[in-house]
């Protein structure tokens, strides 16, 4: 079932956060970079392609095109730190 263009972008950002371990900030930044490059222009023209399945495909493509190494994300740094805040080795 199609969703709004804005909801589609939100879903792509959520998938980047959940599946590709990007911080929320990084996931939104990747979507914004892709949007600035016109990656989603077809979605705006044809809202019928704004589906959950397409969001999954788009998240994968956006990560491949615009993603950064995991080490640069806040989520990765947080996982490397224990409850004491010290880096795990």
- Cα→Cα distances 46→2, 11, 41, Å: 10, 17, 9
Structure tokens at 6: 């804005």
Residues whose CB is less than 8 angstroms from the CB of residue 63 and which lie 6 or more positions away in sequence, other chains included: 16, 20, 22, 30
Per residue in 66-87, pLDDT (tens digit) is: 986 543 444 444 434 444 444 4
> Can you give the pTM of this predicted structure?
0.75
Residues whose CB is less than 8 angstroms from the CB of residue 66 and which lie 6 or more positions away in sequence, other chains included: 30, 33, 34
Highest mean pLDDT among 9-18, 43-52, 69-78 belongs to 9-18
Report which of 79, 46, 68, 43 is spatially closest to residue 58, judged by C-alpha positions.
Answer: 43
């Amino acid at each position: 079932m199609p969703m709004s263009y804005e909801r589609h972008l939100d879903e792509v950002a959520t998938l980047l956060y959940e599946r590709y371990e990007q911080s929320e900030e990084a996931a939104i930044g990747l979507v914004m970079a892709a949007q600035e490059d016109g990656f989603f222009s077809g979605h705006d023209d044809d809202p019928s392609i704004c589906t959950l399945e397409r969001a999954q495909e788009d998240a994968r493509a956006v990560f491949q095109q615009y993603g950064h190494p995991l080490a640069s994300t806040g989520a990765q740094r947080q996982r490397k730190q224990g409850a004491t805040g010290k880096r795990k080795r």
